[in-house]
Structure 1
Amino acid sequence: MSPKILPFLGCLLLLLPTLVFAKAVPKSHQPLAAASAMLVDLKSGEVLYQDHADESRPIASVSKLLTVMVVLEAKQPLNERIEVNVNGIPGMDNVVSRLRFGSTLRRKEAIALALMSSENRAAATLAHHYPGGFAAFIKAMNHKAKALGMTHSHFVEPTGLSSQNVSSASDLIKLLKATRDYPLMGQLSSAKNRSVTFQKPRYSLAFYNTNPLVNKKGWKIHLTKTGYTDDAGHCLVMLTEMAGRQVAFVVLDAFGKYTHIADAGRLKHWLSTGKISKVPADALAYKADKRQLQQQTAKNLEQGDSISATAQP
């Protein structure tokens, strides 16, 4: 063996424990603020973390990932200018938006705003201009979810404002994996900001990403979507990197404006070092109260079904 190779081999042996450790899943369990979560290695398929991952729950604007996927599959011209119009879309009457009704933007820009800044009128406008209109669009959303094996999911509108748009962490992992077949989704969703020029009338607006991690050093975000409603809590899904792994990450129903972002940091730190980070007491209390409420609701429904069955002749 050449003497020149020996120092290189020595360095490699010193690094080997670190490399092995980076690939290993810690034996400890990192608590999270989110009510359900899942983290999967995209290369191996290994489940690195999961907590109540098969529970269906409202997912708020995370719904827009499926909305955009359905739009892209329709292969409508991305540079076509479409009118901001939400007619026939339920729940849009009192939604606050900076997009003016009747103005136009390119379909690609509407997709970008729906993903990056979670613009509800942009998402609704995409559905309005879908071939066959709103009803056909919702049918296509549920058909696509079924095709992806999302067995805990159902959708009634394109924005996520409805609590009837439900999914699970495990289903959303399937959706995240599918987005890799649509590179534009990753490109547009992970942009830090975007300026869009509208016509009729002409005006320009600047929009910013709802996920602050795209601006944070040390994070490589390949695709992202946030979501929030009172029913859904704070939600975050990403294709990103943790501890040298390409991962799909989902957290649903976290309490606090930035708790879902903190959960991402907790899992990244845990996977990289094996060390557990604390979760704020108020976030854990919210999680426990929500869990208790869900269990009581399920128990009441079960009792109601039992009474109905007994009452039948």
Structure 2
Amino acid sequence: MKKSKKLLKHALGISVLLGLSSASFADIVMNSAGKGVSSAQSWSAEDASRLLDGDVSPKGSTSVTTTLRQAGSPSSTAAQSYSQVYDTNNYNSQPSVDARAALVMDAQTGEVLYSKNVNAALPMASITKLMTAVVTADAQLNMSENITLQQIDFAGAGGKNSSSTLKVGDTMNRAEMLLVALMKSENPAAAALARTYPGGRAAFVSAMNAKARQLGMNSTHYTESTGLDPRNVASARDLGILVSSAYQYGLIRQFSTTAQYDFDLGYRVLKSNNTNALVRNGGWNINISKTGYINEAGRCVAMHTTVNSRPAVVVLMGASTSQARTNDATNLLNWVSRLPKRI
């Protein structure tokens, strides 16, 4: 299992667009990215793949399921020189976006490349599930333990019903529950992960908020694990920090970017696709992905990508439609790919 590499801090060549009183946004991102590394080592992408392949021992067979797409690994980023300095003085023709809030951030330095309304605390919908995954991974629970969905897992939150292709009585191991929650955004799976956490849902939500505070996500508050409740709020800035931290977990990288997977439930096979069209289409190197939607939040997405050898975090909140969200993301990624750089 590869050891996570300690990220280095960088002095910024220009002032960061986001002002913070005690520490720069870049420092917070770089510090938060190193949190939870020991937990990330507990369940790597390879371990999780073996669990889904039927080998329940993390130290067992080295076979990797061919169904899961291998996401980008830290080694691809580490291969770049950390002394590389990007030319940030020529950001002409910045794209306009439909989304209510947007952030593009250099994932190496924490430098903000593009920002729109980044400090506003807004409903984040199912991007909540990224924190659900982080808290689950931090707990170092048995990922091969079977979890059976109960009626309460379908109760929804915030007055909303939990629409799902899953059914009461469906059983998966914890790894599969996390996979279906991240790639297909299944709310009952995220609810079951919280229910089966030591101390139950209340303890799980408490851990979510504690992790947010630890990471410096100052505008963030969680009330439940699915994102159905509009009282789950965060700023685009905070979600940039969360994506940077989630990138350190091998299983979150792999599960959130799995394009498709067939879940064998015993009495039926549940064919599932990723909710992010950019992941399904495979045209971009996306290392972390989570979409979200409720009426109050609009269409949202948070991603870690590698564009033209530059690792970048992209966050969009409050796009009007799924197509507008995809168009915004594509326009921003294309724009990042054209940014000049110098060594």
Same structural fold, with TM-score higher than 0.5 when normalized by the shorter chain: yes
Tell me what 2:245 maps to: 178
Higher Cα Rg, which structure: 1
Deviations 1:28-83 (A, max 9, x none): 33211011111111122221111110100001000000011111111111111111
- Given that residues 85 and 128 in structure 1 are in contact (C-alpha distance below 8 angstroms), is that contact kept between their aligned partners in structure 2? no
Equivalents in 2 of 1:223, 1:93: separation in Å? Answer: 27
> Which of 283, 291, 296 is the equivalent residue of 1:218?
283
Tell me what 1:193 maps to: 260
Tell me what 2:337 maps to: 272
Q: CA deviation at 1:125?
A: 0.8
Q: Does 1:168 align with 2:235?
A: yes
Equivalents in 2 of 1:187, 1:105: separation in Å? Answer: 18
Tell me what 1:208 maps to: 273
Cα 1:84–1:214 change in 2 (3 A) is: same
- Report sequence identity in percent: 38
Q: CA deviation at 1:95?
A: 1.9
Segment drifting more, 83-92 vs 36-45: 83-92
Task: Indicate the SS of the match to 1:259.
Answer: helix
Tell me what 1:120 maps to: 187
Equivalents in 2 of 1:71, 1:217: separation in Å? Answer: 27
Tell me what 2:326 maps to: 261
Equivalents in 2 of 1:87, 1:28: separation in Å? Answer: 50
Deviations 1:281-311 (A, max 9, x none): xxxxxxxxxxxxxxxxxxxxxxxxxxxxxxx
Tell me what 1:26 maps to: 91
- Given that residues 235 and 251 in structure 1 are in contact (C-alpha distance below 8 angstroms), is that contact kept between their aligned partners in structure 2? yes
Equivalents in 2 of 1:272, 1:26: separation in Å? Answer: 12
Instruction: Count residues with an aligned counterpart.
Output: 255
Larger proportion of helix: 1
- Given that residues 169 and 252 in structure 1 are in contact (C-alpha distance below 8 angstroms), is that contact kept between their aligned partners in structure 2? yes
Cα 1:21–1:80 change in 2 (3 A) is: closer
Equivalents in 2 of 1:186, 1:69: separation in Å? Answer: 11
- Given that residues 227 and 235 in structure 1 are in contact (C-alpha distance below 8 angstroms), is that contact kept between their aligned partners in structure 2? yes
Q: CA deviation at 1:21?
A: 9.3
Equivalents in 2 of 1:217, 1:119: separation in Å? Answer: 22
Equivalents in 1 of 2:90, 2:210: separation in Å? Answer: 35
- Given that residues 247 and 304 in structure 2 are in contact (C-alpha distance below 8 angstroms), is that contact kept between their aligned partners in structure 1? no
Equivalents in 1 of 2:246, 2:260: separation in Å? Answer: 21
Give the alignment's TM-score, normalised by structure 1.
0.76
Cα 1:210–1:84 change in 2 (3 A) is: same
Cα 1:25–1:137 change in 2 (3 A) is: farther
The RMSD of aligned alpha carbons is 2.2
Give the alignment's TM-score, normalised by structure 2.
0.70
Equivalents in 2 of 1:196, 1:217: separation in Å? Answer: 21
Gaps of 5+ in 2: 1-84
Tell me what 1:71 maps to: 136
Q: CA deviation at 1:217?
A: 4.8
Task: Indicate the SS of the match to 1:130.
Answer: coil
